[in-house]
Chains A and B, each alone.
Chain A
Amino acid sequence: MTAVEAGRKAATPLDVARVQADFPILARRVHGQRLVYLDSAASSQKPRAVLDAMARFYETSNANIHRGTYQLAVESTEAYEAARRAVARFVGAPDPRGLVFTKNVTEAINLVAASWGGANLKAGDAVVLTEVEHHANLVPWLMLKDKLGIELRFVPMGEDYTLDLTHLDRLLDGAKLMAFTAMSNVLGTLTPIRRITDAAHAAGALVLVDGAQLVPHVPTDIAALDVDFFGFTGHKMCGPTGIGAMWARPELLEAMPPFLGGGEMIRDVRLDGFTTAEVPTKFEAGTMPFAEAVGLHAAVEYLGALGMDAVREHEVSLTAYALRALKERHGDDITIYGPSEPAMRGGALSFTYKGIHPHDVSQVLDQKGICVRAGHHCAKPLLRRLGVGATTRASFYVYNDESDVDALVEGLSDADDLFSL
């Protein structure tokens, strides 16, 4: 019985040993050591169900979508549209017509900035972001600032690594859009999405959420969150690379100009002009990553069968264990940048250790088969705010267990042995 079959039986706690058996890569060794993969916030590993679904698709149904009338093309198109419905359902999207497939969440946010932003913002209009954003939800807006002269305002990070919402209403005053991450990829902090959304709507602003770190780890219900735009990325949620999505209210998509132009997104083209297809196809120019959509479909089925409540519970308890174990062994030698209360955060733990540079920490850990991320995590303004050039980040997912945390705790002592002054 696979973990998926087990999960279907009941909303029981995650059987991590069984989950691990679903991920072929975990069987490999690195530098002669067991692979301890603690970088799922950057990209997750893939269960066999996803790999098999893609291989099966290529072996049996592969053909370009929306184009042929032959059997393979029909099957392929059906598989793609079934993926759209399944992914939309997985994130609680009120209407699958609003789900536009993209290359990743970066492209999803760029789509909104270029299309909606280009059509609806003018010089002096305000967009509110936060200080903790990934570059993916910052640079597209900085580009619009350069291009149109829009004003950017930032919700600051408070001392406890949560957003300081004290002046939220003032920041939102007159703003056209509030765009923020649902969970910081550096701090792990979960954002109170509904609270910010209600405040933004009351101020007359639309809301865009970067769900890249939320959807893989926390049950997500876009309808209940009441947001207007919600982006996420497949490769962090057990899916393949090359596919992500932007869900938007269909009426917004209908009013927005197209983003990329080309095949598929049109209704008619003449030498002097074109008309666009219906949403969401209007925003899906060129041959889409349809095999990847099939893979993402398998990924959401896999996660759905594990049960996202169980996934979240597992990560809260593993994060609690990690916070405790790191502090117990390393005390004041380790500084963890993020909330100390596991319920307020996800399983991405950024830290600095004894003044040893994160590059060096991660190099030592690599020798023990431990994969962690070292650097600025594509959030340079936040790192500057924290007063550090780089941190080491360990992040957890469904296949991690306490022995992975123990390896990390132990590995840091090795770095200490090598680098201590």
Chain B
Amino acid sequence: MAGLEDLYREIILDHYRSPRNRGELPTPPAQRVEGFNPLCGDEVVLFVDLHDGTVADIKVSGQGCSISQSSGSMMTAAVKGKSVAEARALIRRFKGLMSIHEQALGGEADQLDEDGADGAGADDPDVKLGDLEALQGVVKFPVRIKCATLSWNTLTQALDEAPA
């Protein structure tokens, strides 16, 4: 049986209590993208400043549970300064981590983009998840997976909408 300690790892609580990269960026140059979880009313607002093919700066605001907040915080820390290609690879890897179990549990699979978990990169060992591994426990709590993936889907949207 999954216990609460599987879900609320110390590192997750740490990001929840002291979120990284919280706030806003001036738009433009940054883009502002909103994501919603209609189920629970969680919302995330991402400010992404793309520069020469890299995520030059990223901030997150909005409201949500500890899982969506900490996932967003860890995500910003992981992608800041990375190239867009690296950021996309990380998104694929993270969503792969979340979706495999989701399907196994018969939950409604999170919509994967075309190059989602089944595509290249979903389990690319070269893409390191680091602290993000701590979110693995979320898959034992299927209703919370959407909380964990909210900011990642929003980042995908920001990258997709970015002017070429």
Beta-carbon contact of B66 and A419 below 8 Å: yes
A56 to B43, CA, bound (A): 48
The interface on chain A, measured as residues whose beta carbon lies within 8 A of the other chain's beta carbons, has a size of: 19
A374 to B3, CA, bound (A): 19
B 31-75 to A, binary, CB cutoff 8 A, 1 in contact else 0: 000000001111100000000000000000001111101000000
Chain A residues, CB < 8 A from B42: 359, 389-390
Beta-carbon contact of B144 and A389 below 8 Å: no
Of all chain B residues, the one with the shortest Cβ separation from A376 is: B41
What is the distance, in angstroms, from B151's C-beta to the closest C-beta of chain A? 15
What is the distance, in angstroms, from B14's C-beta to the closest C-beta of chain A? 11
Q: A121-161: which residues lie under 8 A (CB-CB) from chain B?
A: none
Beta-carbon contact of A363 and B144 below 8 Å: yes
A380 interface hit (Cβ, 8 Å): yes
Beta-carbon contact of A418 and B41 below 8 Å: no
Chain A residues, CB < 8 A from B63: 357, 389
A303 to B144, CA, bound (A): 36
B7 interface hit (Cβ, 8 Å): yes
Question: Interface centre among B3, B4, B43, B69, by most A CB within 10 Å?
Answer: B4
A 368-384 to B, binary, CB cutoff 8 A, 1 in contact else 0: 00000011100010010
Chain A residues, CB < 8 A from B64: 357, 359, 389
Beta-carbon contact of A359 and B147 below 8 Å: yes
Q: A395-421: which residues lie under 8 A (CB-CB) from chain B?
A: 418-419, 421
Contact among B1, B7, B13, B41 with A390 in the assembled complex (CB-CB below 8 Å): B41
Report the contact-size class of chain B (Cβ under 8 Å from the partner). 20 to 34
Known: A367-B4, A419-B13. A360 touches B40 (CB 8 A): no
A236 to B147, CA, bound (A): 28
What are 25 A-B contacts defined by CB distance under 8 Å?
A31-B1, A32-B1, A357-B65, A358-B40, A359-B42, A359-B64, A359-B65, A359-B147, A360-B67, A363-B7, A364-B4, A367-B3, A367-B4, A375-B40, A375-B41, A376-B40, A380-B41, A389-B63, A390-B40, A390-B41, A390-B42, A418-B4, A418-B13, A419-B13, A419-B16
Which 4 residue pairs across A and B have the least CB separation, nearest first? Answer: A359-B65, A357-B65, A376-B41, A389-B41
- Chain A contacts to B: CB under 8 angstroms: 31-32, 357-360, 363-364, 367, 374-376, 380, 383, 389-390, 418-419, 421
Extra contacts besides A359-B64, A367-B4, A390-B41 (18): CB < 8 Å: A31-B1, A357-B63, A357-B64, A357-B66, A359-B40, A359-B65, A359-B67, A359-B144, A360-B65, A364-B4, A374-B40, A375-B41, A376-B41, A383-B41, A390-B42, A418-B13, A419-B13, A419-B66
- Chain B contacts to A: CB under 8 angstroms: 1, 3-4, 7-8, 13, 16-17, 39-43, 63-67, 69, 141, 144, 147
